[in-house]
């Protein structure tokens, strides 16, 4: 059924269709609308047979999910930004224990400076925690990925994060096709855990493992993700067969035929990128793009196959590995090793900075002229940066950077001054 | 369940890890000798029979008791219970009233007509026992249980020795005495009363061995100048006459000379015979008096008067003359030359007894020391086949010791008759108070036995001290701490952090699982009764 | 004659078992068929009070629930010594996630059981004092506040033992730990610090809060039993001496625990919905000195020149407890 809905609401409806048995969450923008909607559905009975638990922190939220999952319940939580970091220890733990929890990340920047807007710093910080990470391009895909995520998580006994750009998706109203319940039921069998706390078959879960077996446990975690590389496309095609639309998969190539320049990106900015590509293709540029859906596991083969015939690669990233560059680039460059191709990392959209078509087009043109640095920043205001650098050089006690920058822009100068 | 590798484990699988290898000390179960048992001259397993009494199984308790001592009802009345002085509970609140429970069991057995076990086999050998006092009776009883034929010969009219002709009725009612003696008779022991033995060598004809227990019945005398009309009696005769003769005439004022139990018994008897004043004269102080404290207290309650640090010098119509004494540095009384006269109608001498050993005149190489017959550790005199015990051998002269001698002699006679030597089992280490963890025992003050009204004691020979009821006998028995021997409290089983104690089931006690025992010593520390010992592990 | 009430069983109700008592009145620990929820072969130190306390509590809970029990465990000695790969000592369904989240994990388990309609299965969360009063405190308070159907048991050995005896908010004043050394002007842990989690638990007005000690098994089991008859959030705080951390002899574990109770330093009480409903009278009152002296963590208070002032301050704490909780018979 096609509906005009806020992204969060749509995602919540998709999750409800998956019949989670325990939902727990702690509020943080921009995740709130998802869990509010779920709370309401549990209260009204629309989502039956589900415990909604209001916890006191994200650490508790994921911990409750861990307990619930180990006791055999399909468990779900959602968070973002500071909240994800607050539960960091549990994030690793859930993966280490192999509990198939599904968690939505409403992607948001991490402070300081505190910032509620979108970028990928939060989920990127957890990229090595052992979770599968899927990035949604649209709200339709976000909804669809959740349904696939439960199937994937439970098949592998591995937790899955579905990353949805905060505000850009979570708060956007779109026309969304809500799947039919019977289709979801047919697609997603009931949760059949590989290990469960059961009085009739007691086990101890969460042993302490020393050097004699720790590496093996970790390697087995890695093997699960390798298996996911096979499973994700299978599930995606099963999904499209049943629901009659394409969603998910490992990567999504766009107009790659004959492309000399390929733009690689995660999440919602692929929409804008595609618009620019369409425009430039019309103008005769040989350009295409590759959206990466599965960032963990990172589909090295698929990425390489998609990119190998290009001349240059632009990797657009909403996250900065401070002191190095971009985390997505690490994977992409690795997939290109031996091809002689350069990947240009461009950091964009940090803390909600708009990624405009205009800027992108200018960037791509610059790329075609091979004028990009290996690490570049989209729409970075060098003047402001220079002023602050000067200031720091002059006075030791130069004041807080964030406030200084805001003053330079003039947004709050009048109020602060 | 196909479990994830390493992080998920099978239940209880740590049994594969034998932590016993950490141990430097190992706990072992021991049996220690309870101080009461150690102190009992009759060699009773007091704790053993209390154990059954605690559970309310009085029959088994009594059976366990009479394995060692045929006279619980008597013993519970007249024994001075050294066991209670030794009882560890005395250090906690008050000693367990062992004698009271013992008496309860004895009385119950009499009421119910319980009999000890059947004697083993037909009387293979014949043993002569001379004297039917506690020692002779005890020996006969045990020999009979072992299957021997026993004949007891006594010069007196009735059996019992000093239990009948010494100890007054108000302390030992005769129906009780009769009941416990008749039980021995019913076991097939032959009694020949009213027959004095003058020559033991002659009397031995037809017997394989003899046990002599003729007691000490001759009153020790002292020279007291006395006027013609003065009445001077000795305690032994007086008490004998109480049983078996014309009631003694003592008059209104009676002076008793001596400081032992006999003196007290005489003074209290005098009171019951109608004396207005019954006074005990003793050379030393109250503290030095050999009489048992409880009896002294009862005498005081009954109004018996005492004159301490005095000796009787003379007696005439007007009364007795006493000399005051003082204690010298060594605590010995010395005369002062100060005299005092006091009214008295009669003077009773209670200065101790000696044995009449005439029947031994024809026994060659007999060793006699201070008027008593020497015996070796097997209770045998220097003449093979003749054993002796009780008051006639060096001992503390109590019914209980006499009973103990009788038992010990019986065991040795039995062995001797088989040409063997009896070897007593080795004694365990004593369960001292320091070995106990008394926190676990409930607070429980001793049960007080009821006592006869003072008013009624003056005039009758009714028993003074009453018995326990079934309920409070149970209570009293349960005050036992079971020192040194497991009483299955389950503490060790419970407190082991490593579940290294195996409970074998009711009555079967426990075992250590040395595969897992780390040797922490908690079980030993928390065993209330000290039945676990830590010993160094040998590597 | 002063007749005693006739219900007297030699050791009364203080020993683990008692052959004279009806089996139903003996402790679970006396039962040959107890579950040994924490089995042999674990790697706790000799005489570990925590290992003992955990078996006491869980065996009782197992019996109370007819073996329908699941436990969530915080990181700490209990977890480490019971489940080093490849062996576990647990005989019950058990899970360890993290140091600070046992209460939340238990909430999750309870929620799962509820949706699955398995409400006969009961949930216990357990952790050390550090995992409870410090790092797990937020999760604990959240679980209390939501009144989740979980019994949380804290095994209080008064420091972070598993990491080598560092101070926690349950470490008593003057105690030496690795981070409150017996040095300087005020050796050991400072006075006036720390928190009383049982009282804080009561402030949540949860249905049941109790303190217990390994030194009083009957009381401990009664409290666990009672807790298992109640639904909603429950808390039991069990005092468990640690021979290693306290510097006491392994064989003295129960003696030390007993003296903590008998001195008044560790009052045993229970509360329902925020109100104290019962407290255990001291059986044989002991001075705090008797307790302190058995432990090397307090040894700086004794020796040549005993620190009378500090001992008196500790005695004052005990006296206040005795007063506050009514530990002496009137
Ligand atoms: C007044 C009094 C009170 C006492 N109170 C207590 C008390 O409360 N508790 C306690 O433990 N002890 C008490 N005693 C001591 C105790 O009675 C004796 O130690 C005990 O009876 C000694 O036992 P026995 O078998 O050696 O000798 P006895 O009991 O003296 O028995 C010896 C028997 O041998 C018989 N006999 C002697 N010579 C011959 C012979 N030639 N031929 C045949 N038969 C012979 C006698 O007739 C007598 O029956 C008391 C003693 C007295 C005198
Ligand atoms: C988040 C986190 N911080 C610190 C630790 C290290 N750590 C593990 S166990 C432990 C001490 C546990 O102390 P407590 O909870 O009192 O239990 P005990 O070992 O004393 O029984 C610490 C500090 C950890 N595992 N996780
Ligand atoms: S602790 Fe109890 S059960 Fe164990 S040996 Fe001692 S008395 Fe027997
Ligand atoms: S309590 Fe257990 S581990 Fe300790 S010594 Fe006794 S049996 Fe061994
Ligand atoms: S350090 Fe303490 S709590 Fe930890 S195992 Fe050892 S005794 Fe037990
Ligand atoms: Mg601790």
Task: Give contacts of C2 with chain B, Cβ < 8 Å.
Answer: 445, 448
Calpha distance B250→B267 (Å, rounded): 11
CATH superfamily of C14-324: Thiamin diphosphate (ThDP)-binding fold, Pyr/PP domains (3.40.50.970)
Reported as a pLDDT band with limits 50, 70 and 90, residue C8 is low
Q: Do domains A2-243 and A251-377 have the same CATH topology?
A: yes
Looking at the CA of residue B524, tell me the nearest atom of ligand 4: 6
Closest CB to C85: pick one of A53, A64, A213.
Answer: A213
pLDDT at A403: 85
Task: Give contacts of C258 with chain B, Cβ < 8 Å.
Answer: 439
What CA dihedral angle connects B339, B342, B346 and B352, to 10 degrees? -40
Ligand 1 geometric centre to CA of A366 (Å): 131
**Ion ligand 6, residue ranges at CB < 5 A:** C 128-129, 157, 161
B30-65 residue pLDDT tens: 999 999 999 999 999 999 999 999 989 999 999 999
Calpha distance B275→B249 (Å, rounded): 10
Reported as a pLDDT band with limits 50, 70 and 90, residue C10 is low
The whole-number average pLDDT for the span C46-72 is: 98
Question: Looking at per-residue confidence, does B120 or B185 come out higher?
Answer: B185
Judged by a CB distance cut-off of 8 A, whether residue B6 touches chain C is yes
Calpha distance A278→B213 (Å, rounded): 131
Reported as a pLDDT band with limits 50, 70 and 90, residue B318 is confident
C191-219 residue pLDDT tens: 999 999 999 999 999 999 999 999 999 99
Task: Give contacts of A24 with chain C, Cβ < 8 Å.
Answer: 108, 111
Count CA atoms within 13 Å of residue C117 on its CB side: 1
Ligand 1 geometric centre to CA of B407 (Å): 16
Give the CATH number of domain A251-377. Answer: 3.40.50.920
Q: Atom 21 in ligand 1: which residue has the minimum CA distance?
A: B162
The chain-wide mean pLDDT, for chain C, equals: 95
Model confidence at C4: pLDDT above 50 = no
Pair of tokens at residue A114: 């505190």
Closest CB to C47: pick one of B444, B472, B520.
Answer: B520
Best of A200, A203, A222 to mutate (most B CBs within 10 Å, chain B): A203
Helix segments in A71-213, DSSP class H? 81-86, 88-96, 121-125, 139-156, 181-187
Smallest CA–CA separation between B15 and chain A, in Å? 14
Q: Atom 2 in ligand 4: which residue has the minimum CA distance?
A: B496
Are A105 and A114 in contact, with CB atoms under 8 Å apart? no
Q: Is A239 left (phi over 0), alpha (psi -120 to 50) or beta?
A: alpha
CB count within 10 Å of CB B28 equals 12
DSSP 3-state of C154: strand
Q: What percentage of chain C has pLDDT greater than the value 90?
A: 91
Closest CB to C47: pick one of B6, B481, B497.
Answer: B497
Reported as a pLDDT band with limits 50, 70 and 90, residue B373 is very high
Among candidate residues A26, A4, A23, A146, the one with its CA nearest the CA of residue A84: A26
Enter the DSSP assignment of C248: -
The strand pairing partners of B501, in sequence order, are B512
Smallest CA–CA separation between C112 and chain B, in Å? 19
Ligand 4 geometric centre to CA of B516 (Å): 8
Residue C173, CA distances (Å) to B8, B505, C314 in order? 40, 45, 8
The model's pTM is 0.93
For a mutational test of ligand 5's pocket, the pick from C127, C243, C254, i.e. the residue with the most ligand atoms closer than 8 A to its C-beta, is C243
Chain A: partners with 3+ C-beta pairs within 8 Å: B, C
Read out DSSP for B332-379?
Answer: -EEEEEEEEEEE-SEEEE---EE---GGGTT-TT--EETTEE---TTS
Quick one: angle between helices C137-145 and A58-70, nearest 10?
Answer: 70
Are A205 and C94 inside 8 Å of each other by CB?
yes
Pair of tokens at residue B45: 């397993």
pLDDT at B450: 81
Give, rounded to a whole angstrom, the gap between the first and last alpha carbons of chain A.
Answer: 54
Are B326 and B316 in contact, with CB atoms under 8 Å apart? no
Among candidate residues B106, B172, B165, the one with its CA nearest the CA of residue B461: B172
Are A67 and C146 inside 8 Å of each other by CB?
no
Question: Looking at per-residue confidence, does A71 or B453 come out higher?
Answer: A71
Cα torsion B506, B510, B515, B520: sign: positive
Pair of tokens at residue C273: 């919905």
**Which ligand is nearest to the Cα of residue B239, counting in written order?**
1
The whole-number average pLDDT for the span C300-323 is: 96
User: For chain A, which ranges sit under pLDDT 50?
Assistant: 413-417
Read out DSSP for C56-68?
Answer: HHHHHHHHHTTT-
Ligand 5 pocket list (CB less than 6 A) = C 44-45, 48, 50, 77, 81, 157, 161, 242-245
Main-chain phi, psi angles of B277, to 5 degrees: -130, 130
Main-chain phi, psi angles of B41, to 5 degrees: -65, -20
Calpha distance B283→B310 (Å, rounded): 5
Model confidence at C6: pLDDT above 50 = no
* Check: complex ipTM more than 0.90: yes
B84-101 residue pLDDT tens: 999 999 999 899 999 999
The length of chain A, given as a count of residues? 417
Domains of chain B (ranges; CATH) run 13-31+486-536 (3.30.70.20), 45-115+438-477 (no CATH), 126-217+355-417 (3.50.50.60), 221-352 (3.50.50.60)
Closest CB to C15: pick one of B14, B491, B500.
Answer: B491
Smallest CA–CA separation between A72 and chain C, in Å? 7
**In sequence order, what are the residues at sequence separation of 6 or more whose Cβ sits closer than 8 angstroms to the Cβ of residue A244?**
none
Are B467 and B104 in contact, with CB atoms under 8 Å apart? yes
Closest CB to C104: pick one of A64, A197, A204.
Answer: A64
Burial profile A248-264: b = 16 or more Cβ within 10 angstroms, e = fewer: bbbbbbbbbeebebbbb
**Which ligand is nearest to the Cα of residue C134, counting in written order?**
2
For a mutational test of ligand 1's pocket, the pick from B399, B408, B410, B464, i.e. the residue with the most ligand atoms closer than 8 A to its C-beta, is B399
Enter the DSSP assignment of A336: T
B142-183 residue pLDDT tens: 999 999 999 999 999 999 999 999 999 999 999 999 999 999
Count CA atoms within 13 Å of residue B419 on its CB side: 0
Ligand 4 geometric centre to CA of C45 (Å): 11
Among candidate residues A72, A198, A193, B9, the one with its CA nearest the CA of residue C70: A198
Helix segments in A71-180, DSSP class H? 81-86, 88-96, 121-125, 139-156
Reported as a pLDDT band with limits 50, 70 and 90, residue C9 is low
DSSP 3-state of B536: strand
Q: Atom 6 in ligand 4: which residue has the minimum CA distance?
A: B523
DSSP 3-state of C71: strand
Ligand 3 geometric centre to CA of A285 (Å): 92
Q: Atom 2 in ligand 3: which residue has the minimum CA distance?
A: B489
Reported as a pLDDT band with limits 50, 70 and 90, residue B3 is confident
Among candidate residues C72, C142, C139, C140, the one with its CA nearest the CA of residue C112: C72
| H or E element that contains B269 | helix B261-272
Q: What is the bridge-based pairing of β-strands A51-54 and B386-388?
A: unpaired
Give, rounded to a whole angstrom, the gap between the first and last alpha carbons of chain B.
Answer: 43
pLDDT at C3: 34
CB count within 10 Å of CB A275 equals 13
pLDDT at B18: 97
Are B4 and A207 inside 8 Å of each other by CB?
no
The whole-number average pLDDT for the span C266-272 is: 98
**In sequence order, what are the residues at sequence separation of 6 or more whose Cβ sits closer than 8 angstroms to the Cβ of residue B179?**
B73, B110
Ligand 5 geometric centre to CA of C47 (Å): 8
Q: Where are the domains of chain A?
A: 2-243, 251-377, 382-415
pLDDT at C226: 98
**Which ligand is nearest to the Cα of residue C44, counting in written order?**
5
A266-288 residue pLDDT tens: 999 999 999 999 999 999 999 99
**In sequence order, what are the residues at sequence separation of 6 or more whose Cβ sits closer than 8 angstroms to the Cβ of residue B91?**
B433
Q: Is A324 left (phi over 0), alpha (psi -120 to 50) or beta?
A: alpha
Among candidate residues B47, B110, B102, the one with its CA nearest the CA of residue B69: B102
Nearest CA in chain B to C82: B14
Pair of tokens at residue B127: 């043993």
Nearest CA in chain C to B19: C41
Angle in degrees, CA B216, B218, B222, rounded to 5: 125
Enter the DSSP assignment of C134: I
Quick one: angle between helices A382-394 and A401-409, nearest 10?
Answer: 130
Ligand 1 geometric centre to CA of B133 (Å): 5
Q: Atom 7 in ligand 3: which residue has the minimum CA distance?
A: B486
Main-chain phi, psi angles of A88, to 5 degrees: -45, -45
pLDDT at C65: 98
Are A90 and C68 inside 8 Å of each other by CB?
no
The separation between CA A6 and the C-alpha centre of its own chain, rounded to angstroms, equals: 19
Enter the DSSP assignment of B468: P
Reported as a pLDDT band with limits 50, 70 and 90, residue C102 is very high
Give the CATH number of domain A2-243. Answer: 3.40.50.970
Q: What is the CA radius of gyration of chain C?
A: 19
């Amino acid at each position: 059924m096609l509906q005009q809905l806020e992204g969060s609401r749509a995602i919540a409806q998709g999750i409800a269709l998956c019949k989670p048995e325990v939902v727990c969450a702690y509020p943080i923008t921009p995740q709130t609308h998802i869990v509010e909607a779920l709370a309401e559905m549990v209260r009204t009975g629309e989502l039956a047979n589900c415990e909604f638990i209001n916890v006191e922190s994200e650490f508790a939220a994921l911990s409750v999910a861990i307990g619930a999952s180990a006791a055999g319940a399909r468990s779900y939580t959602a968070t973002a930004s500071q909240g994800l970091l607050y539960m960091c220890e549990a994030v690793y733990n859930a993966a280490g224990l192999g509990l198939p929890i599904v968690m939505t990340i409403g992607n948001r920047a991490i402070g300081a400076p505190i910032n509620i807007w979108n970028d990928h710093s939060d989920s990127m910080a957890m990229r090595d925690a052992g979770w599968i990470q899927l990035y949604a391009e649209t709200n339709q895909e976000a909804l669809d990925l959740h349904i696939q995520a439960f199937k994937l998580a439970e098949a592998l006994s591995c937790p899955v994060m579905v990353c949805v750009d905060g505000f850009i998706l979570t708060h956007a109203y779109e026309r969304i096709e809500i799947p039919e319940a019977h289709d979801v039921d047919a697609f997603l069998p009931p949760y059949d855990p590989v290990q469960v706390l059961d009085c009739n078959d007691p086990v101890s879960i969460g042993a302490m493992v020393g050097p004699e077996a720790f590496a093996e446990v970790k390697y087995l975690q890695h093997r699960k993700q390798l298996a996911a590389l096979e499973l994700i496309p299978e599930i995606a095609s099963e999904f499209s067969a049943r629901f009659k639309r394409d969603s998910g998969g490992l990567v999504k190539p766009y107009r790659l035929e004959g492309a000399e320049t390929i733009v690689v990106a995660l999440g919602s900015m692929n929409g804008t990128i595609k618009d620019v590509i369409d425009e430039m293709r019309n103008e005769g540029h040989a350009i295409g793009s590759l959206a990466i859906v599965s960032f963990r596991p990172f589909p090295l083969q698929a990425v390489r196959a998609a990119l190998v015939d290009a001349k240059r690669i632009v990797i657009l990233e909403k996250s900065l590995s401070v002191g190095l560059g971009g985390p997505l680039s690490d994977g992409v460059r690795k997939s290109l090793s031996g091809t002689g191709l350069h990947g240009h990392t461009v950091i964009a959209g940090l803390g909600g900075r708009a990624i405009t078509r205009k800027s992108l087009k200018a960037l791509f043109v610059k790329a075609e002229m091979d004028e990009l640095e290996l690490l570049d920043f989209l729409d970075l205001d060098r003047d402001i940066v220079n002023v602050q650098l000067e200031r720091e050089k002059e006075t030791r006690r130069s004041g807080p950077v964030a406030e200084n920058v805001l003053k330079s822009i003039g947004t709050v100068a009048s109020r602060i001054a | 369940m196909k479990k994830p590798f390493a992080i998920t484990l099978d239940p209880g699988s740590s049994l594969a890890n034998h932590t016993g290898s950490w141990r430097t000390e190992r706990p072992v179960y021991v049996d220690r000798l309870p101080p009461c048992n150690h102190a009992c001259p009759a060699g009773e397993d007091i704790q053993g029979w209390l154990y059954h009494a605690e559970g309310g199984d009085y029959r088994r308790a009594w059976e366990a008791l009479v394995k060692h001592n045929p006279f619980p009802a008597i013993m519970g009345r007249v024994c001075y219970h050294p066991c209670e002085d030794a009882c560890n509970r005395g250090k906690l609140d008050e000693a367990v009233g062992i004698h009271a429970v013992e008496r309860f069991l004895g009385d119950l057995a009499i009421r119910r007509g319980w009999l000890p076990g059947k004697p083993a086999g037909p009387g293979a050998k014949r043993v002569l026992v001379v004297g039917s006092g506690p020692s002779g009776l005890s020996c006969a009883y045990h020999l009979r249980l072992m299957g021997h034929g026993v004949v007891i010969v006594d010069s007196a009219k009735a059996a019992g020795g000093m239990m009948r002709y010494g100890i007054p009725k108000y302390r030992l009612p005769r129906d009780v005495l009769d009941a416990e003696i008749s039980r021995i008779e019913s076991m097939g022991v032959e009694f020949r009363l009213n027959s004095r033995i003058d020559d033991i060598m002659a009397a031995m004809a037809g017997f394989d061995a003899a046990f002599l227990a003729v007691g000490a019945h001759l009153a020790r005398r002292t020279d007291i100048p006395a006027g013609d009309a003065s009445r001077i009696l000795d305690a032994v005769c007086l008490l004998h006459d109480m049983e078996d003769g014309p009631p003694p005439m003592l008059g209104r004022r009676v002076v008793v000379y001596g400081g032992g139990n006999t003196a007290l018994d005489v003074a209290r008897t005098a009171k019951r015979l109608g004396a207005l004043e019954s006074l005990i004269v003793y050379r030393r102080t109250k503290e030095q008096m050999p009489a048992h404290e409880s009896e002294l207290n009862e005498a005081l309650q009954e109004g018996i008067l005492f004159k301490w640090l005095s000796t009787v010098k003379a007696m005439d119509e007007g009364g007795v003359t006493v000399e005051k004494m003082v204690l010298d540095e060594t605590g010995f009384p010395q005369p002062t030359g100060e005299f005092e006269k006091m009214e008295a109608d009669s003077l009773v001498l209670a200065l101790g007894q000696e044995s009449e050993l005439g029947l031994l005149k024809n026994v060659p190489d007999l060793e006699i020391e201070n008027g008593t017959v020497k015996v070796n550790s097997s209770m045998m005199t220097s003449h093979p086949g003749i054993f002796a015990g009780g008051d006639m051998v060096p001992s503390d002269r109590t019914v209980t010791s006499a009973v103990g001698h009788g038992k010990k002699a019986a065991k040795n006679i039995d062995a001797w008759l088989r040409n063997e030597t009896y070897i007593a089992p080795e004694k365990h280490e004593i369960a001292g108070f320091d070995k106990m963890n008394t926190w676990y025992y409930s607070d429980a003050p001793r049960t007080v036995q009821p006592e006869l009204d003072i008013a009624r004691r003056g005039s009758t020979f009714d028993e003074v001290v009453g018995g326990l009821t079934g309920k409070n006998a149970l209570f009293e028995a349960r005050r036992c701490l079971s020192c040194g021997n497991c009483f299955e409290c389950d503490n060790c089983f419970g407190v082991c952090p490593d579940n290294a104690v195996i409970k074998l089931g009711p009555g079967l006690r426990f075992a250590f699982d040395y595969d897992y025992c780390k040797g922490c010593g908690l079980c030993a520390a928390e065993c209330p009764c000290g039945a676990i010992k830590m010993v160094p592990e040998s590597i | 004659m002063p007749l005693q009430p006739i219900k007297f069983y030699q050791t009364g109700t203080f020993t683990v078992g008692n052959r004279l008592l009806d089996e139903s009145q003996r402790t679970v620990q006396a039962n040959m068929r107890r579950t040994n929820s924490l089995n042999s072969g674990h790697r706790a130190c000799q005489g570990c009070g925590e290992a003992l306390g955990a078996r006491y509590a869980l065996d009782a809970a197992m019996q109370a629930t007819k073996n329908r029990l699941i436990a969530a465990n915080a990181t700490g000695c209990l977890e480490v010594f019971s489940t080093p790969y490849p062996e576990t000592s647990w005989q019950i369904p058990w899970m360890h996630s993290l140091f600070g989240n046992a209460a939340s994990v238990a909430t999750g388990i309870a929620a799962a059981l509820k949706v699955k309609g398995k409400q006969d299965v009961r949930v216990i969360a357990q952790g050390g004092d550090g995992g409870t009063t410090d790092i797990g405190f937020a999760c604990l308070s959240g679980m209390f506040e939501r009144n989740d159907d979980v019994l949380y048991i804290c095994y209080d050995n008064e420091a972070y033992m598993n990491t080598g005896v560092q101070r926690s908010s349950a470490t008593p004043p003057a105690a030496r730990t690795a981070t409150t050394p017996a040095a300087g002007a005020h050796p050991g842990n400072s006075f006036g610090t720390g928190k009383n989690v049982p009282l804080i638990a009561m402030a949540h007005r949860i249905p049941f809060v109790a303190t217990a000690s390994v030194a009083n098994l009957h009381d401990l089991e009664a409290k666990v039993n009672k807790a298992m008859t109640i639904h909603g959030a429950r808390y039991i705080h069990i005092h468990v001496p640690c021979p290693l951390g306290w510097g006491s002899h392994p064989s003295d574990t129960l003696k030390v625990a007993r003296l903590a109770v008998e001195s008044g330093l560790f009052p045993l009480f229970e509360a329902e919905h925020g109100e104290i409903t019962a407290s255990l009278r001291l059986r044989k009152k002991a001075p705090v000195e008797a307790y302190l002296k058995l432990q090397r963590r307090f040894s700086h208070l004794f020796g040549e020149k005993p620190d009378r002032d500090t001992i008196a301050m500790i005695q004052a704490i005990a006296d206040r407890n005795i007063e506050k909780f009514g530990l002496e018979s009137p």
